[in-house]
Chain A
Amino acid sequence: MKKRYLIPTLIILSIVSLFVGVSSISVSDLLDFQSEETEIFLISRLPRLVAILLAGAGMSMAGLIMQQLSRNKFVSPTTAGTLDATRLGILVSMLLFANASMLEKMTVAFAFALAGTFLFMQILNRIKFKDAIFIPLVGLMFGNILSSITTFFAYRADVIQNMSAWLQGDFSMIMKGSYELLYISVPVFIIAYLYANRFTVAGMGEDFSKNLGMKYRSVVNIGLVLVALITATVVLTVGIIPFLGLIIPNIVSIFKGDHLQKTLPHTAMLGAIFLLVCDILGRVLIYPYEISISLMVGVIGSFIFLFLLFRRKAYA
């Protein structure tokens, strides 16, 4: 879990990712700028890689921030209803605006992601029984309620054919022109890093933060805004990637602790690496077909999640 290993791993995997695919591309093809291979490379492979890196880093950081602010290791966009709220937001934007532009969708999805997460935090404050496992269960139930509302309206309005597959994470459709929204997360990462120390303090609780002269409420609110921004951009461009925000921060925490200024870069890198591995595996396992990323992450992620649950006593 050292940067010295993470960075080379990330670079090697990125290169592998660029050259794995149905149509084979070699480096020499790329030297000819006019070739068809170069075109595929620029229109599909490179955007796909960038999308994976940004989404992997983003969802992991979002999870880390949520865990810190909620003071619970099992809270994440998956287990706090954030993803479901975002999906509902996207549906609402489609119902409100006949041909919703990316920006309109983004705005509404962001608003819903924020509202959903905020609501979950309010529920969290009201709950007296703060058991580590109980809280994410409440979050999952909350998410399911939002999801049912989405399904209900989707069927009523007849806008979506297949609810269960709608907005599931998928990188195979990523192309030049469809993923650029993800770049919003770059400044968000930077802000998150600048706020890392404040998030760590907030994780020590409200009174602790006040003693250190920090405005707890505003720091929490800023954190939730960042989480909602990341989630909304990722869900809109690549779809829902479950578990990432849950498992990656937990793995990093075991090895490197919870000092966010030190662990945010690791979390971002490990998230990107994990997603890259899942994506490459998904592409080669049933070649020339593809296993969708949400399935890959879901399967591998749920096993790691179970493992974390069982070893919870050991560290949490």
Chain B
Amino acid sequence: MIQVRELTKLYGKKQVVENVSVDIQRGQITSFIGPNGAGKSTLLSMVSRLLDADTGEVLIDSTNTKKLKSNEFSKRVSILKQSNYMNVRLTIRELVSFGRFPYSKGRLNDEDEKMVDQSIDYMDLKEMENSYLDELSGGQRQRAFIAMVIAQDTDYILLDEPLNNLDMKHSVQIMKILRRLVDELGKTVVIVLHDINFASVYSDRIVALKNGRVVKDGTTEEIIQSAALKEIYDMDIPIQQMNNCRICVYFNS
């Protein structure tokens, strides 16, 4: 379990994350939703130690994350940021292999190679594994990054808007893969999503942020309600039940 305890982040005098406490349960997909600028990315960066919090702490399986060595931490928590600009010429396979860096420091053994193969297969990238990243489309690159995070094989996987740049087919494919990682391999996935229907269909819990604060935190059924969504987004969003999925019809709200 990841326990976020009273985290605060200031930029200048502005509190972009304000006294946030959340519990993230093991073996679940927890989605973070909320308007632009709500502080989702900042929160995720603090949980994954990319950013120092001003106050508060994060516990992972009851250990303060500050107490963990960086190499240890990177075997337990991985993060994929919202944008991954880089002009390094690596092939997909080389990039995914770096997901094994915490274990092998770049000298891959058989088990590492197996994980790399598996992750590439998972992301449907086999036939282009030797293409250079700078010669791929935005969505293909995004899938390569996700494959790398899967190869990192951490208990906790944090993804900041991983569906950026992806077409419908691949968005669905990735959400299904995340579901499988959770259901079959017992991983814990934390994901920032803007499309609340993906959050509704695939997550176990939803945490809503707004102006740096948690405004809603509950099971998917509790949050995907017109009243709750109104509070989060200031929009009247009707909800329809279709094939056991609760779909928010927000397009003309």
The answer to the question of B152 belonging to the interface, with a C-beta cut-off of 8 Å to chain A, is yes
The answer to the question of A203 belonging to the interface, with a C-beta cut-off of 8 Å to chain B, is yes
The answer to the question of B202 belonging to the interface, with a C-beta cut-off of 8 Å to chain A, is no
Q: What are 26 of the A-B contact pairs (CB < 8 Å)?
A: A68-B88, A197-B107, A201-B98, A203-B86, A204-B86, A204-B98, A207-B79, A208-B86, A210-B49, A211-B50, A211-B74, A211-B78, A212-B99, A212-B152, A213-B70, A213-B71, A213-B72, A213-B75, A214-B74, A214-B101, A253-B89, A258-B88, A258-B90, A259-B94, A261-B106, A316-B87
B50 & A259 in contact (Cβ 8 Å cutoff) = no
B102 & A257 in contact (Cβ 8 Å cutoff) = no
Q: Which residues of A contact B152 (CB under 8 A)?
A: 211-212
Give the docked Cα–Cα distance between A244 and B15 (Å). 49
A212 & B50 in contact (Cβ 8 Å cutoff) = no
Give the docked Cα–Cα distance between A212 and B152 (Å). 8
Within 8 A of A (CB), among B85-137: 85-91, 94, 98-99, 101-102, 105-107, 132, 134
Contact indicator per residue, chain A 256-271, by CB within 8 Å of chain B (1) or not (0): 0111010000000000
Report A's interface with B, CB cutoff 8 A.
Answer: 68, 71, 73, 196-198, 200-201, 203-205, 207-208, 210-215, 253, 257-259, 261, 315-316
Q: Which residues of A contact B45 (CB under 8 A)?
A: 207
The answer to the question of B48 belonging to the interface, with a C-beta cut-off of 8 Å to chain A, is yes
Question: Which B residue sits closest to A316, measured CB to CB?
Answer: B87
Question: Which A residue sits closest to B86, measured CB to CB?
Answer: A204
B84 & A212 in contact (Cβ 8 Å cutoff) = no
A-B contact count (CB 8 A): 78
B94 & A212 in contact (Cβ 8 Å cutoff) = no
How many chain B residues touch the partner (CB < 8 A)? 34
The answer to the question of B73 belonging to the interface, with a C-beta cut-off of 8 Å to chain A, is yes
Select B98's contact among A73, A205, A212, beta carbons within 8 Å.
Answer: A212
- In the complex, besides A197-B105, A210-B70, A257-B89, 5 extra interface pairs with C-beta distance below 8 angstroms are A71-B88, A197-B101, A208-B84, A212-B102, A213-B71
A215 & B50 in contact (Cβ 8 Å cutoff) = no
Give the docked Cα–Cα distance between A257 and B95 (Å). 12
CB of B67, distance to nearest CB on chain A (Å): 15
Which 10 interchain pairs have the tightest Cβ spacing? Answer: A213-B74, A197-B106, A213-B71, A257-B89, A212-B101, A258-B89, A213-B102, A258-B88, A213-B70, A203-B88
CB of B68, distance to nearest CB on chain A (Å): 10
Give the docked Cα–Cα distance between A215 and B101 (Å). 12
The answer to the question of B194 belonging to the interface, with a C-beta cut-off of 8 Å to chain A, is no
CB of A230, distance to nearest CB on chain B (Å): 22
A200 & B50 in contact (Cβ 8 Å cutoff) = no
B73 & A257 in contact (Cβ 8 Å cutoff) = no
Question: Which B residue sits closest to A207, measured CB to CB?
Answer: B50
B134 & A200 in contact (Cβ 8 Å cutoff) = no
The answer to the question of B81 belonging to the interface, with a C-beta cut-off of 8 Å to chain A, is yes
Question: Which B residue sits closest to A203, measured CB to CB?
Answer: B88
Select A211's contact among B48, B90, B107, beta carbons within 8 Å.
Answer: B48
Select B73's contact among A196, A213, A259, beta carbons within 8 Å.
Answer: A213
Question: Which B residue sits closest to A215, measured CB to CB?
Answer: B70
Q: Which residues of B contact A257 (CB under 8 A)?
A: 89-91, 94, 132
Contact of A71 with B101 at beta-carbon distance under 8 Å, contacts A211-B74, A213-B74 already known: no
